[in-house]
Amino acid sequence: MRSLLKLPIRNKNYGKILHITDTHLFADEDDSLLGINSNASFLAVINEIGRNNKQFDLIVATGDFVQDGSKKAYARFAEQINKFNTPCVWLAGNHDNYTSMQDVFANYQLADNKIVLLGDNWLVVLLNSQVIGQAYGFLPESELEFLQNALTEHFDRDALVFLHHHPINSGCHWLDHHILKNSDQFEQIIQKNANVKGIGWGHIHQKQDYVWHHCHAFSTPSTCFQFKPECYDFRVSSDDAPGWREITLNADGSIESEVYRLVDNQFLPDVSQSGY
């Protein structure tokens, strides 16, 4: 079993998680992606969360931290996230260099733990669905065994599972070529473990919420551009602002969550682009 992180919660009745994903940062402050300065949009999200003055017990970051592969961009993420003075756990997306992430994040005390015991009631598990050199995801047998073992060992806790890739079709034909390829194996584990109460992911740059078997399953918007929903071919959305998700884990095993977005959105993508 991989090392676990034990964290207290501020309120005995619930734990609070901030979910951030798909920041796509650059080393150069002025670089942009699909017409958006992703460094600036990420900073705007961080500042907006800070202005709201909410307190979290844990931050979960689900991949695609950088676009240029640079350690400076990973450091940019870590410097901003450390402003919250809250434990942050993370996993890799298809754009990430895992070795660089480990090296940089260790310097900023961002925990490499993939199991978190949150308060007295909750288990948080992070899975690595990255396939190096590919946009799609896959959970190797080692990750599936890791998940099942964690759920078995902590059967007395309700569980929230995170990964980067979407295990459920997004409704976008082009995006669903980049889905979790062995989602059926993942689904089998979910079905037979009733203590899994939630599943979260990034990757699709959209807000989606489902009831999937006995779980609240959801995707969280990117902190930069969003993909247009229900599209056959690649499209970015001119309507949806950068965002994040706040999750409440109640002592009775229920999950509440809400997506927030920048209200005064200055980050408008170049909708003429056909890929990135």
Coil, helix or strand at residue 5: strand
The string of pLDDT tens digits covering residues 104-161 is 999 999 999 999 999 999 999 999 999 999 999 999 999 999 999 999 999 999 999 9
Nearest to 34 by CA among 272, 274, 269: 269
Q: What is the pTM of this model?
A: 0.96
d(CA 265, CA 25): 18
Q: Are 193 and 148 in contact, with CB atoms under 8 Å apart?
A: yes
What is the rounded average pLDDT of the residues 76-99? 96
Percent of the chain with pLDDT over 70: 100
Give the sheet arrangement for strand 122-126, strand by strand. Answer: 4-7, 115-118, 122-126, 158-162, 196-201, 215-219, 208-212
Measured distance CA(253)–CA(121) in Å, rounded: 8
**pLDDT tens-digit readout, 206-233:** 999 999 999 999 999 999 999 999 999 9
> Measured between alpha carbons, how far is residue 148 from residues 88, 137, 162, 185 in Å?
23, 19, 14, 11
Structural domains in the chain, CATH included, are 4-261 (3.60.21.10)
1 confidence band (pLDDT: 50, 70, 90): low
Displacement of CA 113 from its chain's centroid (Å):
15
Q: What would the pLDDT profile of 227-272 be if each residue is shown by its tens digit?
A: 999 999 999 998 899 999 999 999 999 999 999 999 988 888 877 7
CA angle 185, 124, 131 (to 5 degrees): 45
Strand partners, 5: 116
Mean residue pLDDT across the chain: 95
